[in-house]
Amino acid sequence: MGLIAALIASPAWSQESKSPGYTADEAASFAEMHALESEVGPEKRAFVEEQLELTPQEGSKFWPIYDAYQEALRGFNQRRLDNILKYARAYNAGAIDDATATAIAEDALDLEKDEAVKMEHTFRKLRKVVPAVKAVRYLQVENKLRAIVRFEQAAQVPLAG
């Protein structure tokens, strides 16, 4: 993900800000992320549809739950990137103090908990509208796709030091 590389690797960001709290470069990176989400969304939906082989009746109940979960994921993605941005700013400044490191870690842990709770809630809703095996398959597909994204993010974030 070039976005994360841009956030981490750019030690001198512009001081102009088009969005509250973001420099112009950061705002442009976030705009790029949102554009990518919009572009990938239909492809992801088609992939999920192919993997689940939903009947029309199942699909009419599944897709609203899926769409709500995707909206929640956009919020989680924004939170995760905001947290990476906090880390990038501290890292690029040359040192991460204990208070900053603790705040970043607590935000990351809270995000993990919130994301797990939302996935559990989504799974419970899906079990009521599609066969359990399809709800589990969706959980697997979503977790695998998220793991790929998370791996790419983690590969580009240097260790604190």
Mean pLDDT confidence for 60-73: 96
Position of tokens 């906090």? Answer: 86
- Higher pLDDT pick, 1 / 23: 23
C-alpha–C-alpha distance, residues 71 and 50, integer Å: 21
Residues 6 or more apart in contact with residue 2 via CB below 8 angstroms: 32
Please say if the pLDDT value at position 127 is more than 50. yes
At residue 30's C-alpha, the angle toward residues 29 and 35, to 5°, is 95
CB-hemisphere CA count at 13 Å for 146? 17
C-alpha–C-alpha distance, residues 61 and 75, integer Å: 23
Q: What is the pLDDT of residues 87-113, one digit of tens each?
A: 888 888 888 899 999 999 999 999 999
* Structural tokens at position 117: 């709770």
C-alpha–C-alpha distance, residues 18 and 48, integer Å: 36
pLDDT for the residue 18 = 38
C-alpha–C-alpha distance, residues 119 and 30, integer Å: 24
Please say if the pLDDT value at position 22 is more than 90. no
Long-range contacts of 36-41 (CB under 8 A, 24+ apart): 36/3, 37/74, 37/77, 41/70
Is residue 49 exposed (0-12), middle (13-18) or buried (19+ Cβ within 10 Å)? Answer: middle
C-alpha–C-alpha distance, residues 6 and 27, integer Å: 12
Supply the DSSP symbol for 158: P
pTM of the model: 0.74
Mean pLDDT of the chain: 81
Confidence bin at 7 (pLDDT 50/70/90): very low
